[in-house]
Amino acid sequence: MTVITPIEHSGFRVIMTTDLAASLGTETKIISKNFERNEHRYQLGKHFFILQGDELREFKASRQIDDNLKFAPVIYLWTEKGAWMHAKSLNTDEAWEAYEALVDDYYRIKSASVNMSQFSPQLQLLIQMEQGIKEIEQRQDNTDRQLAIVKETFLDRDEDWRVKMKGLLNGATARRGMSHRDMRTLSYQMLEERARCDLSRRLSNLKERLKDSGTTKSKVEEANRLDVIESEPRLKEIYTIIVKELSIGAMN
């Protein structure tokens, strides 16, 4: 991961858009477009901060700024939760892996060990209580993220799209004299070749995320390749074209 100069703002460790894009393996304009499309989901002070006016001038004067940002009227700073929102929008295995690395290497500040015995019993108790509260908040954050993964996988399924794809494949199956399983397998193979992706690996990664989220075994096993395809707009678009081609016999 690229070394990023730490930025602290309003009690949060934050990251600029350019560094976030580089860390997630995408472009700044993609981050900006994702934010524009989903701005109503982002909360100022929770997911991001905006620097402008005197605050922005002080920020620019205090650090080395890329030339393309020197005259920017506004700069966005993203918290860990904001970075998670962007990883969710990209929703690729590469983005999730990059996000995990970003959390481990940048957002999570490793504190030096402190000898608690030098403090009074009362102060030790207060410190322990504070640490307990932070652990509870961290567990809640993890739970929220895990629930979002489950919701994204199972509750937001586009059933109309799935029914349409199934109908088109059934028609292609009848015309070609193939089994339903062979037709599905063919459609997935064509997607992997055209989109240069590994559906089996992506499905395995999805199931691992579901397991980590505490999803029941039956629900984990229910996850399938269509969940993987539907979760990424690019794959969904390519797969839809492939199924239509198979349906009209364009791939004979």
DSSP 249: T
Where is 25: in which H helix or E strand? none
DSSP 214: T
CA distance 70 to 66: 7
Handedness of CA 88, 94, 97, 99 (dihedral sign): negative
**pLDDT at position 112:** 42
Using one digit for the tens of pLDDT, what is the confidence trace for 143-174?
Answer: 666 556 555 545 457 788 889 999 999 988 98
Using one digit for the tens of pLDDT, what is the confidence trace for 98-110?
Answer: 777 777 666 765 4
C-alpha 202, offset from chain centre: 14
CA distance 135 to 139: 6
Number of neighbouring beta carbons within 10 Å of residue 126 = 12
Cβ(80)–Cβ(104) below 8 Å: no
Q: Is the pTM of this model over 0.95?
A: no
Closest among 10, 165, 24 to 83, alpha carbons compared: 24
What's the number of CA atoms in the CB half-sphere (13 Å) around residue 94?
11
CA distance 3 to 86: 20
CA distance 50 to 59: 11
Cβ(220)–Cβ(211) below 8 Å: yes
CA dihedral 164, 170, 175, 176 (to 10 degrees): 120
Q: Residue 77: beta bridge partners?
A: 16, 49
**pLDDT at position 240:** 93
Residues in the chain: 252
Region of 197 on the Ramachandran plot (φ > 0 left; ψ -120 to 50 alpha; else beta): beta
**pLDDT at position 192:** 93
Using one digit for the tens of pLDDT, what is the confidence trace for 170-220?
Answer: 988 988 888 999 999 999 999 999 988 899 998 888 888 778 777 788 888
Cβ(180)–Cβ(169) below 8 Å: yes
Using one digit for the tens of pLDDT, what is the confidence trace for 5-60?
Answer: 778 888 788 889 988 888 888 889 999 998 988 888 888 988 899 998 888 888 88
